[in-house]
């Protein structure tokens, strides 16, 4: 029985090491902003996990213009002027309407600290817009033309490891320990 309790304690520790806080997502659309006109557009958030993917919710807005690429940066702190931690340029199909995840998991975030995703159009096309919301996210705010906007964008922050990925070593260890604990629990006590 002592071995079983030890295995269960180790399994609990392994579970805490591999846990994620969950997805942060705003979803109540109240308006939209044209990216090129209001850039840099940003959304600050408080990191709940060290490795994340970030997504704005995009919409084609002025479809008679060129579909220029977009550029998103992850910066330290709340606001668009922080130290740039990573930047990615990407393109979307001209009829794309929805969230588009950018993997920032190569940057180790500090849980509890503020970060801002900053969006720009490297060219000058007003093709793309992003959906916005009332001020529904308590952990941050949107930035429009670089200034606090007093509302939020429609965005989501997803811990890496939450979306159909290979299990982490901690999860595999937890499953193995659980099986070992079940096997020990089924063993018959030795005859006296």
Q: Does domain 21-160 have CATH number 2.60.60?
A: no
pLDDT of residue 35: 97
From 90, 91, 82, select the one nearest 143 (Cα to Cα). Answer: 82
Is the separation of the CB atoms in 52 and 158 below 8 Å? yes
In the chain, domain spans: 1-20+167-192, 21-160
pLDDT tens across the length of the chain (192 residues): 555 455 444 445 444 444 567 899 999 999 999 999 999 999 999 999 999 999 999 999 999 999 999 999 999 999 999 999 999 999 999 999 999 999 999 999 999 999 999 999 999 999 999 999 998 899 999 999 999 999 999 999 999 975 444 445 555 555 565 656 556 556 666 665
pLDDT of residue 21: 76
Residue with tokens 């044209």: 34
pLDDT of residue 123: 92
Is the separation of the CB atoms in 144 and 38 below 8 Å? yes
- CA distances to 2, 32, 156, 181, 182 from 127, rounded to whole Å, are 65, 13, 22, 58, 58
pLDDT of residue 7: 44
CA distance 173 to 179: 10
pLDDT of residue 144: 96
pLDDT of residue 192: 59
Radius of gyration of the chain (CA): 22
pLDDT of residue 107: 97
CA distance 67 to 93: 8
Kindly state the greatest CA–CA separation across the chain: 86
Q: Report the predicted TM-score, pTM, of the whole model to 2 decimal places.
A: 0.75
CA distance 46 to 55: 15
The tokens of 8 are what? 């269960």
């Amino acid at each position: 029985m002592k071995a079983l309790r030890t295995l269960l304690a180790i399994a609990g520790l392994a579970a805490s090491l591999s846990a994620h806080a969950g997805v942060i997502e705003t979803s109540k659309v109240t308006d939209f902003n044209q990216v090129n006109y209001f850039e840099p557009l940003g959304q600050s958030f408080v990191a709940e996990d060290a490795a994340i993917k970030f997504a704005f919710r995009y919409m084609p807005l002025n479809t008679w213009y060129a579909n220029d690429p977009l550029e998103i940066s992850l910066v330290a702190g709340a606001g668009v002027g922080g130290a740039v931690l990573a930047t990615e340029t990407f393109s979307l199909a001209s009829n794309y309407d929805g969230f588009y995840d950018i993997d920032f998991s190569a940057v180790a975030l500090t849980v509890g600290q503020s970060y801002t995703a900053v969006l720009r159009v490297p060219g000058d096309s007003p093709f793309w817009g992003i959906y916005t919301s009332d001020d529904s996210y308590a952990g941050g705010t949107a930035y429009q033309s670089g200034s606090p906007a007093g509302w939020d964008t429609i965005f989501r922050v997803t811990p890496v490891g939450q979306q159909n990925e290979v299990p982490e070593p901690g999860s595999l260890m937890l499953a193995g320990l659980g099986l070992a604990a079940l096997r020990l629990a089924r063993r018959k006590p030795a005859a006296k």
